Amino acid sequence: MYFVLFIAVLFTVRDGVLGDVYFRRDVLFSADAWRSLLKGFWINIQVFLWAEGIVLVWALVVAIVRLLPHRACAPIRLVATAYCDLFRALPAVLVILIINFGFQRARLPLLENFSTMQYAIMALALVYGAYVAEVYRAGIDSIHPSQTSAARSLGLTYAQTMRHVVVPQAVRRVVPPLLNDFIGLQKDTALIFSIGIFELLSRARFINNAQATFTGYTMAAMLFFIITIPMTRFVERLQRRDQARMRAG
Amino acid sequence: MAFLEIRDVHKRFGSNEVLRGVDLDVDPHQLVCLIGASGSGKSTLLRCINALEDIDAGVIRLGGERVSGRGVDVNLLRQDVGIVFQSFNLFPHMTVLRNVTLAPTKVLDRPTVMAEERAMQLLRRIGLEEKAQEYPDRLSGGQQQRVAIVRALAMEPQLLLLDEITSALDPELVAEVLNIVRQLAEEGMTMVIATHEMGFAREVATKVCFLHEGVVHEEGPPEQVFGQPREERTQAFLRRITEAGRL
């Protein structure tokens, strides 16, 4: 409703000059433009999927390390905490620039033969890993200690207790905040245009420059809408189904 | 030598000393009831026996072996000692069957088929076999607690600790849980029970221990502790219980 109103305003203010800027029909209905943008968007989606996959596992590892109980684990607990603090403090775009250009130049062993895209994935995974680790940690903390007592009293080790009892419940509980972060990650894939990857945003800019319009941005925005909004709904449904199953047996 | 020996056990939480030198012996096939006011240390004592809490001083021995303090494999100890909690603590994300088979398959490395067969046997005994595929929150409190008992029994413990297992139940659900304990007692399971069910303690206990301020104040056969308590504190406690109509 508001969206329609917004469009209406765009088309009426100053004789619809805004409509011309953002919704120029020859660009909006150009198959070539869409083809190019979709090609770019496919790169975003790939980066997103890889980064998300890495984040889901990596963040859980970080969260578990941060919660290791024994005093002997203090040093690596500290490393994990420092990682979270550091990467949550930095703008994602800065991390992308640092990792891409720095690692390329420095020729780090093991890390030198990566493509720009792989550096981009690595950077996004590191940034979002720090956020998601905190989400996991909150989820694990929210599981009542009596669950741990029950599992340990049956002879399960600490690791088995985490693996079979605590983490599965924690993950279910943090699905909504996880989703939040993933929508964020999905959108932040646009930041990789800063290291010269010819993805959606770069292509939108290219179209804008060639056609002297901003319609390319509108089209890019539409593509983001199309993917993120259904994703939200989908995960909500998964969650409801899971709850229904636990309740209804 | 007793099967379970507790000697001069101390446990403090911060500045609050909950156990102040508990001594207790439990022989095989005995059913020992711990009675006493809330805060007298009953639950803490049970949690210490199972090493869910570290003790600060004293020693706990099971079958002659020290099971408290440093260098003890608590995971091994817990295979021999089961505990059932007041709040059931079933795993809500697992079916009843999986709740029961988790420890046998993961800790004892039993094949799933065997563990499930055994679990179904146990569930049949408590009349809950048709609930095997349900999730715990579809069960009544009494049913959940029965499953929790079965979950502990699936590990075939030599000693079973029951921590006020009927305190969180509606009155009409208490009997179904106590009946199982009664059955276990008849089969000779060694048990230590913290309870407020005095009538039940009197009926099934081989020994009753009255805990007061972190020490065993009086112990003896139920007829003696309930019939002619020697200690003044015990008398006062039982008088209050009687006044409340719970004995």
Section A48-73 average pLDDT: 94
Q: Residue A22's pLDDT is what?
A: 81
Is residue A8 a part of any domain in this protein? Answer: no
Identify from B73, B78, B95, B108 which residue to disrupt to test chain A contact, counting A C-beta atoms within 10 A and taking the largest count: B78
Is residue A147 a part of any domain in this protein? Answer: yes
Q: Residue A91's pLDDT is what?
A: 94
SS3 assignment, position B192: strand
Q: Residue B208's pLDDT is what?
A: 95
Q: Which domain holds residue A232?
A: 24-248
- List, in sequence order, every beta strand (DSSP E) within B51-168: 57-62, 65-66, 81-84, 159-163
Section A186-190 average pLDDT: 91
User: Are B191 and B4 a contacting pair, CB within 8 Å?
Assistant: no
Section A121-141 average pLDDT: 95
C-alpha B154/C-alpha B115 separation (Å) is 8
Is residue A15 a part of any domain in this protein? Answer: no
Cβ neighbours of B152 in A, within 8 Å: 153-154
Higher pLDDT, A231 or A86: A86
Q: Residue A132's pLDDT is what?
A: 96
Chain A nearest-CA residue for B94: A246
Quick one: which H or E segment has residue B208? strand B207-212
CATH code, domain with B142? 3.40.50.300
CATH code, domain with A232? 1.10.3720.10
Q: Residue A248's pLDDT is what?
A: 54
Selecting from B47, B106, B134 the residue whose C-beta is nearest the C-beta of A156 gives B106
Average pLDDT, chain B: 93
Q: Which is nearest to A136 in space by CA: A84, A76, A206?
A: A84
- Chain B (91-120) residues lying within 8 Å, Cβ to Cβ, of chain A: 91-93, 95, 102-103, 106-108
Rounded to two decimals, what is the model's pTM? Answer: 0.86
pLDDT band at A245; cut points 50, 70, 90: low
How distant is the Cα of A143 from the closest Cα of chain B, in angstroms? 11
Would you say residue A76 has pLDDT above 60?
A: yes
Cβ neighbours of A150 in B, within 8 Å: 85, 89-91, 148
Is residue A102 a part of any domain in this protein? Answer: yes
Judge whether B135 is closer than 8 Å to chain A, CB to CB. yes
Q: How many domains does chain A have?
A: 1
Section A234-239 average pLDDT: 79
> In Å, how far from its chain's centre is CA A111?
23
Q: With pLDDT > 90 as the criterion, what percentage of chain B qualifies?
A: 83
pLDDT digits (tens, 9 = 90+) for B38-70: 889 999 999 999 999 999 999 999 988 899 888
Would you say residue A249 has pLDDT above 50?
A: no
pLDDT digits (tens, 9 = 90+) for B66-118: 998 888 889 889 999 999 999 999 999 999 999 999 999 999 999 999 999 99
C-alpha A199/C-alpha A206 separation (Å) is 11
Higher pLDDT, B216 or A231: B216
Q: Which domain holds residue B13?
A: 4-243
Contact at CB, B89 and A155, closer than 8 angstroms = no
Q: How many domains does chain B have?
A: 1
Chain A nearest-CA residue for B92: A246
Cβ neighbours of B137 in A, within 8 Å: 246-247
How distant is the Cα of A149 from the closest Cα of chain B, in angstroms? 7
C-alpha B27/C-alpha A247 separation (Å) is 43
How distant is the Cα of B31 from the closest Cα of chain A, in angstroms? 20
Task: Tell me the residue length of chain B.
Answer: 247
Cβ neighbours of A246 in B, within 8 Å: 92-93, 135, 137
Judge whether A4 is closer than 8 Å to chain B, CB to CB. no
Section A144-153 average pLDDT: 95
- Chain A (164-193) residues lying within 8 Å, Cβ to Cβ, of chain B: 164-165, 168-169, 172
Section A204-222 average pLDDT: 90
Q: Which is nearest to B181 in space by CA: B49, B163, A97?
A: B163
CA distances from A23 to A16, A213, A221, B29 (A): 10, 9, 12, 84
User: Are A7 and A221 a contacting pair, CB within 8 Å?
Assistant: no
Place of tokens 């089961």: B82
ipTM of the complex: 0.91
